[in-house]
Structures are given as C-alpha cells and as structure tokens.
Amino acid sequence: MEKICIFGVGLIGGSLALALKEKSFCRQIVGCSRNESHLKRAQDLGAIDSWTLDPCEAAKDADLIFLATPVGAIEAVLKSIQGCVSEQTIITDGGSCKQSVVDAAERAFGRLPDRFVPGHPIAGKEKSGVDHADAKLYVDHKVILTPIETTDPTAVAAVTEMWETCGANVQLLNVGQHDQVLAATSHLPHVLAYALVETVANTTYVSEIFEFAAGGFRDSSRVASSDPTMWRDICEYNRDAILEMTSLYRDRLESLEQLIEAGDSDGLFELFSRARKVRDGRFG
Amino acid sequence: MEKICIFGVGLIGGSLALALKEKSFCRQIVGCSRNESHLKRAQDLGAIDSWTLDPCEAAKDADLIFLATPVGAIEAVLKSIQGCVSEQTIITDGGSCKQSVVDAAERAFGRLPDRFVPGHPIAGKEKSGVDHADAKLYVDHKVILTPIETTDPTAVAAVTEMWETCGANVQLLNVGQHDQVLAATSHLPHVLAYALVETVANTTYVSEIFEFAAGGFRDSSRVASSDPTMWRDICEYNRDAILEMTSLYRDRLESLEQLIEAGDSDGLFELFSRARKVRDGRFG
C-alpha cells in the first residue's frame, strides 16, 4: 500500500502505526486528530510520517483509513471525510462497539460503504496515549472483524492482511454477537472495576485499605485505570448489552451473598470450585 | 531458634518454611497436616526437615508454631495441641480473618494465650499447594500482626523478626480493623471475581465469550482461581464484614448502572476519572 491514514494516534492507533512501520507495510502513514501535540509526539516516536489537523487532507488518496478515536468521535470523523474520500479507499476502525460504528457510518454515508470493514482489536492496556504505544501490542492477540452482507470481500482480505502483518489473529463475528460477547468479556469487567474502586474509596478506613491492598485488589481493579473518555463512550454506545450483563451479574452476586448469609459451606465450596475450574479452563 | 512447627505446609506454610530454611532462621522445621502425600512433597522440596501426622508430636518442644491451615481448621488444630504445647512456645498463624482465630484460640485454651500472636501475611497466589511455594513470596509484602492487650511483647518481637527474616514488612492493627480492611481489599474482590466467572459461565455465548476474553477479564477474574476451601472458610469466618462490603458494592454498582441507563455522559466521565485517579494513586 502507498498511504495509510490513522485518525487518533493514541495507544491503539499508535501501536498499529508502529507495527506497520516495522514491517514496511506501506510507504507512508499520515496521522490526524484534533490535538497537535499528540500528533507531534506520534511523529517524534516514529509512529507516523506526517500529520495534519485537516481530516480531508488526511483522508485524500489514502488506500486505507483506520479510525482509532473513541467510539463517540467516529461519526464526526466520517462526516468530515465523506466528501473527500475515494470509493476505492478501505475504511476500518478499532471501536469497541460495532453496531454503533455501523450506525454512525450509515448516518455519515447514507449506507455502510462496501469497503468499510468494522473491526476491533482485542488488545489494550490500562494506559492510554501514544507514549504507551507498542509495535508488539497485537502479537498473538485476536482482532474481530464484523463485515455485513454487502461488505466487499477484497476489503475484508486487505484489513485481515494488515492485522496479520502485526502478528494478530483475525476472526469474523456478526455485529450483534460481537457486542454481546464484548459486553461480557470486557465491558462488564470494566464497569465492575470502576464500582469496586468507588466502593473502597468511600469507606471509613480508606487510607488503611489502600495501604494494605495487595495483588488481588490490584488486578481486580486494574482496568479502572483505563481512559475515562473511551469508557464513557462504550457505556453509551453498547448500553443495552452492558446493562443486560450487569443485571445478570447483580443476580449472581445476590445469590452468592445469600449463600454467605446462610453460612451454606457446601454451596459456597461448590460455587467456588466450579468458578475455579471454569476460569482455569481458559487461563490456567 | 531450635524448632519451628508448621501446621499445613501448602503455599503459605511452605513459602515461610522455604524462606526460613534459606536464611537458616532455625535448626529444624517440622511439618504437620492430615495429608501424608503433601507432607512428603514438602520434604522432597526441602521446605521441611521432617513431618508427622501427630499434632502433639509436632508441637512438643517447638519454639514457635505457625498455623497455616485454612481458617476453618485452626480451632481443631489448637484443641489437638493444647495439652502438649509448652507455655514458652510462641504460636502465630496466617489466617485471613483474625477475630475468628482469636475466638478459636479462646475456645481451645480458655483464653488467648499470652504468647499467641495472631498474624496475616498479605501475600499469596491464586495457585495453592506446596508446589507453588516460593522462598521469595513474602519479600516486600506486608504482614499484619494483631496482638491483643495481654499479648506478650517478646512474642510479638519474635514473630516480627521471623517475618522480617523473610523480607516482609510487619505492621500492627487491631483485630476488628484488620477484618474490616481485609474485607474491602481482599475478600470483596474475591467474591466479585467468583460472581463474574459465574455470570459469564451462564451466558448463551459462553464459548465465544471465553474465546475472546482477554487481559481485562483475565485479571479481573484471576482470584476466582483461588483455593475453594480457603475462601469458603473466609466467607464463613468474616461473614459480617464481607456482607457489609458486598452491600455497599451493590449500591455503587446500581448507581453506576443508573448513570449508564440515563446516558449521563458527564456523570460517567466524572466517576471514571475519579476512579482512575484513586487507583493510580495506589498502583499507578
């Protein structure tokens, strides 16, 4: 490829850029965002070759555009480029909620362009910003693509090749399934971690509690250090699936509390054993 | 010291034994439990010099006894040794709930012996058993001791020295404060992780969910791989403090769900920013 354009050169966009540079996947990478200092930093770090604050200039003549902004900003970016992007240009994104991205593209273009491949790399860190970007971020991680019926297979193949170049494993899901799976695996744990930190921060012994917080608390709360803008958007754009999961979660938590309240040793032992087995089956 | 006796030579007891052997803190370490194969394994790994299934034989002539069984087994161990342990012997433990250990000792001995120093090393892994024991487990970790008014200061000093030999930092708390602090920092995250795994394990897309579960889910659920017996006991013996925390937690979670439901972007952004700041203040 000649030119790739990345909107939002933070952790996700910056890591993709670094990986593609390392593999010489394209001749030039242009960055675009609303923040000049972020773009300068991305250029200093060698993630992008050049940058512009003008979306049309960035998108013009691009072979591929990657949208790495928070989900809530995608519609505005698409509207700003829809008059200047070629029909040959492949567009893909890294948003955590796919129905909302499909909807945004439909509002911007009238319909989802055939060469728009909605995507989501299942990788990240609780640290945000291009300073934490890493050419190895996607190695051995999954990337989900959610093409719809009318999506051009050659565009899907090109986006797949881009991610595989970064070391990722690409898999296809449909849009709705993606949003439900991610609500459970990612969005729910984030909401729970935010609630955990809020709970502890509002207890009487808060200073002692944080002083004695060790590995269990550290890991359980890790994702509460994630970017607030990103997670505000995810909670807005995948609201229904998230609320379905939190509701199921509260039911499970209440059942567990009832076992504790009742002193049901056998019930607790059985539940804890089952949970350990399930988790070890995936991560043990 | 001449002889240290450890009841329960798993992750916690085994790691203490390995660290004390490495530092030549005492001449011999004797292991005791109800499981012969565990004891043999601990001896093979060099954690203990000898072992016995007879609690009285193990405790007799010991300078120091460390109770590293699950909390629920401590009372039975104390009852089995109360007739054969010398008044000079220091007793300490690694139980995660201190009031229950104090109560167990009072039932076994009539009163908490002056040389009984309740303790709790704030270190562990989600893996249990002596095969996961590690001489470095306690390095730079905190150990909380919860002596009561009548506890002999020289016994507290001896237990402190033992833990400092393992590289730990010893701090004193009172019994009730320990149990409240641990309910928040440790017991709550464990209960939440068990509920998280249960929730996901009972969803429609469970196989896809586990397939796409990445770092966020892995870390948020890590402690659900902990020993079920240990956590069954903790939920029994620190029940009130745990239920207080889970109730506070459910309130916070419901408030967060209401913000999501209402699409309150500003409220979500504020909450997520506050949580990130609090967590980064401790672990950032």
pLDDT of amino acid B283: 83
Q: Which of B114, B64, B122 is nearest to B90 (CA)?
A: B64
Q: Are B96 and B33 in the same domain?
A: yes
Are residues A252 and B182, on separate chains, in Cβ contact within 8 Å? no
Q: Are A185 and A106 in the same domain?
A: no
Are residues B181 and A212, on separate chains, in Cβ contact within 8 Å? yes
- The closest CB to that of B216, out of A205, A223, A252, belongs to A223
Residues of the domain holding A247: 178-283
CB–CB of B50/B31 below 8 Å?
yes
Q: Give the residue with greater pLDDT, A208 vs B180.
A: B180
Could you write out the DSSP letters of every residue in A70-102?
-GGGHHHHHHHHTTT--TT-EEEE--S-HHHHH
Q: Are B96 and B21 in the same domain?
A: yes
Alpha carbon B186 to its chain's center: 9
- The closest CB to that of B228, out of A122, A201, A272, belongs to A272
Are residues A283 and B225, on separate chains, in Cβ contact within 8 Å? yes
pLDDT band at A282 (very low <50, low <70, confident <90, very high): confident
| Bridge partners for B92 per DSSP | B66, B117
Distance to chain B for A195, nearest Cα, Å: 5
Q: What is the CATH number of the domain that holds A215?
A: 1.10.3660.10
Q: Which residue, B144, B173, B202, sits at the end of a domain?
A: B173
Q: Are B150 and B198 in the same domain?
A: no
Are residues B214 and A190, on separate chains, in Cβ contact within 8 Å? no
pLDDT band at A246 (very low <50, low <70, confident <90, very high): very high
- Gyration radius of chain B over CA positions: 21
**Tally of helices (H runs) and strands (E runs) in chain B:** 13, 9
How many domains does one find in chain A?
2
pLDDT in tens, A179-204: 999 999 999 999 999 999 999 999 98
pLDDT above 90 (res B209): no
Q: Are B209 and B124 in the same domain?
A: no
pLDDT of amino acid B206: 86
Q: Are B277 and B218 in the same domain?
A: yes
Q: Are A76 and A168 in the same domain?
A: yes
Q: Are A79 and A193 in the same domain?
A: no
pLDDT of amino acid B125: 81
Q: Which residue, B150, B173, B196, sits at the end of a domain?
A: B173
Side by side, the strands of the sheet bearing A119-121 are: A119-121, A142-145, A169-172
Name residue, tokens 């890294």: A94
- The closest CB to that of A257, out of B124, B246, B281, belongs to B246
H or E element that contains B242:
helix B239-262
Are residues B252 and A195, on separate chains, in Cβ contact within 8 Å? yes
Nearest CA in chain A to B144: A212
- The closest CB to that of B225, out of A203, A212, A284, belongs to A284
Q: Are B112 and B228 in the same domain?
A: no
pLDDT of amino acid B196: 97
Length of chain A: 284
Q: Are B122 and B204 in the same domain?
A: no
Q: Are B10 and B112 in the same domain?
A: yes
Q: What is the CATH number of the domain that holds B32?
A: 3.40.50.720
Residues near A101 by beta carbon (within 8 Å), at least 6 away in sequence: A67, A71, A74, A93, A95, A118
CB–CB of A117/A147 below 8 Å?
yes
pLDDT in tens, B22-46: 999 999 999 999 999 999 999 999 9
Q: Are B38 and B164 in the same domain?
A: yes
pLDDT of amino acid B198: 95
Mean pLDDT over each residue of chain B, to the nearest integer: 95
Q: Which residue, A173, A192, A221, sits at the end of a domain?
A: A173
